[in-house]
Amino acid sequence: VQAVLERLAGLEPWDLCSEAKVEKCRATRDLRSCGRTVQHLLTSCGHACLCLECCHRCDICPICRMPIPRSGEVLKLRLYDECVDAGLLPFFQEEEFQEKEEDGPYWTLDAWRLCSFFDIAVENSMASLVCHYVTDVCMDEAAISSDPVISMLLDGSVVKEWCKRTFLTTVRKLRDICNYNSKPTQSKADALDRHGKRLQGLCYVLDALEAPLTASSASLVELQQLLESVRIVIQHLDLMTWCIRQKFLDNVPSCFTSIAHWKVAFQERKWAANDRVWPEYMANTGRLGPKPAGALFIEDALSVGLGKDDGDSSNLMLDLGSLKHGNVATYQAPDSDYPPESTRAAVDALFLEGSSDLFFAKKAIFLYYLFDRHWTCPELQWRHVIEDYVMTFSIPRQSMLESFVFYLLDNKSDEALQEACRWIPEIVSPSLHPKVSLVLLERGRPDAALPVLQSTGRFRPREEILTPLPLSEAVTVVRVLLECSMLSEAYLYQQSHVKAIRTNIKQQKDEDVVARDWIQELDVLLGELCFICIRKNCMVKVLELPWKLDEEKVLRKCLLEQAMEDPSSSSGSLLAAFYLQRCRFSEAYAVHRRLLSLERQYIMENMSTDVVQRICEQRTKLMVRRTSVPDSLICVVLCRKNRWRFSRKWSVSS
C-alpha cells in the first residue's frame, strides 16, 4: 500500500488524467480492434494501449511504433488497477457503471476513476495532490488537449462535482453514526475523527477552487455555500468528538435536578434582569420613558447571527439538519429554548446553525452552558471538564474568564455577583463587552463598574475625547459617575462627548456616512444627569455649574417637566433660583408665574396641599427679596422693557 501511495504522490498532476482515462486495446484481431480494457502500461514507452493477451502477440507499440522487448519487465500495472490490487479501491466492473442523466455531463467512467484518485489522496492526508491538480491543471489556461476525454477531465467542474458528492456521502455516513441510541464509544469517536480529516482535506480543495474566481462568477456562490457547509460540519464533528470522549457529561452531575428546574431558574434570571433595568430618558418628551426589556448576556449572544442561513436555500445547507439527534431538521431559535434539553441538543443547536465564522463565539457560548450546568456543584466534580474543554479547543484564559463572568452576572444571586467582582479585574481590556459595566451598575455596584470603565478606556478623566462612544455607552458612563458621586466628572464628560461629536461632524467629508445628532445626544445625556440628581437630591450642586446656552435649554425642559408632573417637588423652584443666581430676573419671574398657575391648579384638585403652599410662599419671598421690588412692579418693568425694545427696533428699520 505504501508503494502505491508513494507512486500516487510522486505523479505529476497532468498525468492523473492519463492514468484515469479508460484505455481500450488498439491491437487488431481478425481485422477488427480488440477493444478490451487496458490494465497495464508498456515499460518501454509508458503507453497504455495493449491488453495483457495482445501484448504477447504484438511486437511494437500501436501508438509510437517502438519495439516491445521480450525479456525483463515488459508490463506494469496502471495506477488505478494497482490501487485496486492494494485494496485502496474496491474491485469494480465497468458494466456496473451507468451514466445517469441526472448525474450531469461531467460524471463519466473516466471522471469517476479520476475522482477515485482524489478519494485516496484525501483519505491518506494527501489533499495537497488535489489542490495541485486544481491550480496546475484546471486553472492553467495552457492545459489543453485534442482528446475530448482528457479535455473534459481538465475542467474544474469535475473536481467541483467530486467535492459535492464526497460531502453528501460523508454527511450520510455521519448521520448513521450521530443518530445512535446506544452509549457513545471510542470507536465512534475514531470514526468521526476520520470523517473530520476527510472534510478538512475537502476544505483545502474548495479553497483552491474558489481562489481564482471573481465576485461576478456564477459558480462562486455555489462554491461558497458548499465550503460553508463543510466548515460547519467540521466544527460540529469537533464538538461531537469531545462530547463522546466526555460521555456527553452523563457522569458529571448537574446542579439542577431536571431540565424543568433549570428552565424555571433561567426564567427567574430574565425577570430579575427586567426588574433591575433603568428607564431611559426620552429626548423628545423631556421625561423618563418606560423601562426597556432587559436581556441576559446569553440572550444577546444567541441572537447574534446564530440560526440564520442568510436566505440560503441550498440543499447542502438543508441536509445538515439530518445530523441532529433524532433527525430534527426544523430550526428553532436557540434563545427561545435555553437551556437545551441535553448536552447533545446544545451541540446541535449551536454548531449546526449559524455561520462558521462564529465558531469562536459558539465555543464561548458552550463554555457558558458548562458553567451554568455545574457552577453551584462542588468544584472537584466539574473542574476537569472545563479544563479539558479549554485545552482541547485552545480557548485563552481571558476568553474562559469572560464566559465565566458573563454567567455570574446573569446569575441573580449575591454570591455570583461577589464572585464576578473578584474575577473582573483579570479580564478588563479595551475589548471587554460594554454591557459588563452596565450590569454592575444595575445590580448596585457602581464602585465596581467605574474601574471597568477606566480600564477599558471608556472613561479617562482629564483626557479629551477624540472618538466619542455610542450614545448607549456614554449614558452608562454618566450614570456610573453620578452614582459614584462624581458630579463634576459627569459634567465634564458630557461636554467633552458632545464636543467630540461636533468636531467630527465638521471634519466629516464622506457624504455617505450619516452624521450623529449632537443635539439629541446632548439632550439625552443632560436629561439622565438631571433626573439622577433629582432622585439623589443634589440638584442644587448641578445648578451651580457653568452651563452653556444649549445645555440650559435641556435643564429648563427637564426641571419644568418634573414640576408639571409633580408640583409638590422643588424642581420648579430650583429653576427659578437658577435664573436668580445669574441675575436674570425676567426669566426667573416668567418661571415663577408659570409655576404659580400650576400650583393653583394643583391646590384646587387636591386636598393635601400644605407642601405646595409652603413651596409657593417660600419661592415668592425669594423672588421679592432678590429683586427688591413687588410682583406688580416687576410686571410693569417687563412691559416697559419689551415696549422699548419694540420702539427701538421700529425706529432703526424706518
DSSP states of 359-393 as a string? HHHHHHHHHHHHHHHHTTS-HHHHHHHHHHHHHHT
More confident: 53 or 360: 360
Q: What's the pLDDT score for residue 494?
A: 93
pLDDT tens by residue, 356-394: 999 999 999 999 999 999 999 999 999 999 999 999 999
Lowest mean per-residue pLDDT among 113-117, 309-313, 619-623:
309-313
Lowest mean per-residue pLDDT among 159-168, 427-436, 619-628:
619-628
Q: What's the pLDDT score for residue 101?
A: 42
Q: What's the pLDDT score for residue 509?
A: 55
136 DSSP assignment: I
Distance CA 624, CA 351 (A): 74
Question: Once rounded to an integer, what is the mean pLDDT over residues 458-481?
Answer: 89
Q: What's the pLDDT score for residue 449?
A: 96
Banded pLDDT at 473 (limits 50, 70, 90): very high
Q: Letter for the amino acid at 11?
A: L
Task: Give yes or no for a contact between 327 and 172, defined as CB atoms under 8 angstroms apart.
Answer: no
Distance CA 617, CA 415 (A): 51
Banded pLDDT at 217 (limits 50, 70, 90): confident
Percent of the chain residues topping a pLDDT of 90 = 40
Banded pLDDT at 105 (limits 50, 70, 90): low
Cβ neighbour number for residue 56 with a 10 Å cutoff: 12
Lowest mean per-residue pLDDT among 128-142, 150-164, 240-254, 500-514:
500-514
pLDDT tens by residue, 623-640: 666 655 444 444 444 444
Banded pLDDT at 143 (limits 50, 70, 90): confident
Q: What's the pLDDT score for residue 221?
A: 87
Q: What is the mean pLDDT of the chain?
A: 83
Distance CA 150, CA 16 (A): 10
Banded pLDDT at 310 (limits 50, 70, 90): very low
Close Cβ partners of 454 (under 8 Å, ≥ 6 residues apart): 460, 461
**What end-to-end distance do the CA atoms of the chain give, in Å?**
110
More confident: 306 or 15: 15
CB burial readout 370-403, b (16+ within 10 A) else e = bbbbbbeeeeeebeebbeebbeebebeeebbebb
Question: Once rounded to an integer, what is the mean pLDDT over residues 175-184?
Answer: 69
Question: Once rounded to an integer, what is the mean pLDDT over residues 403-426?
Answer: 96
pTM, two decimal places: 0.83
Banded pLDDT at 622 (limits 50, 70, 90): low
Distance CA 65, CA 37 (A): 20
pLDDT tens by residue, 218-230: 788 889 999 999 9
Residue 332 reports pLDDT greater than 80? no
Banded pLDDT at 336 (limits 50, 70, 90): low
Task: Give yes or no for a contact between 307 and 354, defined as CB atoms under 8 angstroms apart.
Answer: yes
Question: Once rounded to an integer, what is the mean pLDDT over residues 119-144?
Answer: 89
Residue 432 reports pLDDT greater than 70? yes
Banded pLDDT at 183 (limits 50, 70, 90): low
In terms of Cα–Cα distance, which of 244, 425, 256, 277 is closest to 347? 244
Q: What's the pLDDT score for residue 239?
A: 94
Question: Once rounded to an integer, what is the mean pLDDT over residues 123-150?
Answer: 88
| CA within 13 Å, CB half, 626 | 20
CB burial readout 452-475, b (16+ within 10 A) else e = bbebbebbeeeeebeebbebebbb
More confident: 106 or 193: 193
In three-state secondary structure terms, 148 is helix
Residue 187 reports pLDDT greater than 80? no
Residue 199 reports pLDDT greater than 90? yes
- Which CA distances in Å does 627 have to 339, 540, 571? 67, 20, 21
Q: What's the pLDDT score for residue 463?
A: 78
In three-state secondary structure terms, 52 is helix
Lowest mean per-residue pLDDT among 76-90, 93-107, 277-291, 589-603:
93-107
255 DSSP assignment: S
Task: Give yes or no for a contact between 170 and 319, defined as CB atoms under 8 angstroms apart.
Answer: no
